[in-house]
Structure 1
């Protein structure tokens, strides 16, 4: 494992917050089956997720209160990567057309 220099900023955690990393005092909770459970403290939501054997994932951090869903985080991450790869495949690749002019080219 490579060491980072001492003056480098700490690595940023990208992606959604999971389980104990959710810091909001209240969250809007969506159950594992997709139904809206309502507004609850994260501690209660975390207990419900642990009982179901799943993770608590923050879906929309900018909402008020933030929206969290009880789901399998590994499966969520896999599906997200799959969607991104599909989007990359569908992107149109821009090709630059070349025209060569030489001294013997007649016009």
Structure 2
């Protein structure tokens, strides 16, 4: 959870290897790119779970049909 600051990719990979976790790019388009040291399986699971939660909370638009006919 703590920020380790700006470092070279080589140093970041070394930290990940020492902690036995993966180095995951969170914001690759940022300058410099933002990465996290996380277990990739757990990270992927959390992303899928958050997407499901968002989908569940999203309201679906229901179209109601009304038919009018002359008597």
Give the TM-score normalised by the residue count of structure 2: 0.90
1:74 aligns to what?
Answer: 41
Residue segments in structure 2 that go unaligned for 5+ positions in a row: none
RMSD: 1.1
Deviant stretches of 4+, over 3 Å: none
How many aligned residue pairs are there? 71
Which residues of structure 1 form unaligned runs of 5+?
1-33
Larger Rg over CA atoms? 1
Return the TM-score normalized by structure 1: 0.62
Structure that is richer in helix per residue: 2
Which one has more relative contact order, counting CA pairs under 8 Å at least 6 apart?
1
